[in-house]
Structure 1
Amino acid sequence: YMYNMANDPKQSKVAGDVGVIPAPGETAGGASGVNGSMGLGIAKASAHPDQAWEFISYMTSQPVQNKYAKLSLPIWKSSYDDPAVQKDQEQLIAAAKTSLNVMLSRPVTADYSRLSNILQQNIQAVLQGKTPAQDGMEAATQAADRLR
């Protein structure tokens, strides 16, 4: 959704100057991706589980996913080949399609939020030139180990 907002002249001063590419992978020319999606579920104590399932089925259907593709990337792999989904966001859809093929799930841990914060702070320090890469990653590893 940020790509489309950033490229909308009514909402952004940098419209037309925003691009997107897949995140780099481990090999030259390779790509990587991390699944940051959210899930839908039905609480065990739900008073209306059948209606909840109908809602989930509707929201995750391909036609609905395609309709909202300007706000959130669709969950259907075949949607990325749909000209209507690609329209006016070809660069984003191409990058997302590439990343989908190499996407990994985020780590499953109760401390994910704290782990993410540790990584963000240390990687940012490296990117800003405040910390050498080796030191930043060692600090992140030590802090992450303390979460165990």
Structure 2
Amino acid sequence: MKFTKIATPEQIDQKWILIDADGKTFGRMITEVATILRGKNKPCYTPNIDCGDFVVIINASKAKFNGLGKVANKEYFSHSGYFGSTKSVKMTELLEKNPEKLYKLATRGMLPKTKLGAKMLKKLKIYAGDTHPHTAQIAK
């Protein structure tokens, strides 16, 4: 009989991957980032263990968006739990003021909604410009 190998946290080799968002389509890049954070691109993928790599995204404000009027019309909602506390922010405002938050919101939707998903999201580093403090990492 053949058995499936289950990876343990000691066997996981986590690397740093640098992604330049300049000219890339936003949605396709975020799906690639979510796959890397989850570890599904590795042969040792185990669903209940954090097998993913660290991801650094630079030039976050220069990503390309497809779709007719998607950037102008899409809204992100937040709610504190109290009556009448729903707030909405347009995608254009998020892209101008805080592109890091836009990337985190989009990536969070593609990761598990558990403690493991929150741990994976902490491995995502986003920078609006082309400089970042993670100098030892190599580009992809």
Using the size of structure 2 for normalisation, the TM-score is 0.30
Between structures 1 and 2, the one with greater helix share: 1
Determine which structure has the larger strand proportion and give its number: 2
TM-score, reference length from structure 1:
0.28
